[in-house]
C-alpha cells in the first residue's frame, strides 16, 4: 500500500511540473496573419487576443529605442508589421536583432488597432 501511495504522489508531482509547460502553448502568427485578424474584426480580435501571449514569426524590419526608453523590434512579413517591446532590462539584447534576420518573438498583446499591433514583454524564441 505504501508503495502505491508513493507512486501516486510521484505521478501527481510530475504532472504538476509538466502541465504548466503543456498548457502554455502559444499560437504562432506571421505579422500579416495577426494584422488580418485585427482588420477582419477588431472587437473580436481584442476579445480573443488582448493581454494574451502569442508568438510572431517574421523578418526584423528595424530596431529602435522608444521615447519611453524601451527597446523595440519591428517584425514584418507580407507587407504587415508588428512592434515588439522588450523589457527595459533587455536593452543590451537589442543589438542581437539585425534587419533582414528571420526571428520568432513571444510577447503579450498590449494594444491592437487598425494602425498598430503592439506586443509587450517580448523576447526572442529559440
CA distance 73 to 104: 11
Task: Assign a CATH topology to domain 25-124.
Answer: OB fold (Dihydrolipoamide Acetyltransferase, E2P) (2.40.50)
pLDDT digits (tens, 9 = 90+) for 65-107: 999 999 999 999 999 999 999 999 999 999 999 999 999 999 9
Calculate helix-pair angle for 42-49, 31-40, nearest 10 degrees.
Answer: 120
Q: Is the pLDDT of residue 126 over 60?
A: yes
Q: How far is CA 62 from the centre of its chain?
A: 17
For the chain, which residues make up each domain, given as ranges?
A: 25-124
Amino acid at each position: 500500500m505504501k508503495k502505491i501511495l508513493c507512486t501516486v504522489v510521484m505521478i501527481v508531482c510530475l504532472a504538476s511540473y509538466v502541465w504548466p509547460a503543456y498548457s502554455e502553448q502559444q499560437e504562432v502568427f506571421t505579422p500579416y496573419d495577426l494584422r488580418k485578424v485585427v482588420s477582419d474584426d477588431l472587437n473580436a480580435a481584442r476579445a480573443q487576443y488582448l493581454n494574451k501571449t502569442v508568438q510572431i514569426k517574421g523578418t526584423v524590419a528595424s530596431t529602435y529605442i522608444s521615447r519611453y526608453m524601451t527597446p523595440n523590434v519591428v517584425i514584418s512579413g507580407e507587407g504587415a508589421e508588428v512592434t515588439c517591446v522588450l523589457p527595459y532590462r533587455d536593452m543590451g539584447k537589442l543589438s542581437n536583432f539585425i534587419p533582414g534576420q528571420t526571428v520568432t518573438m513571444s510577447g503579450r498583446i498590449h494594444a491592437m488597432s487598425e494602425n498598430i499591433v503592439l506586443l509587450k514583454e517580448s523576447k526572442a524564441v529559440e
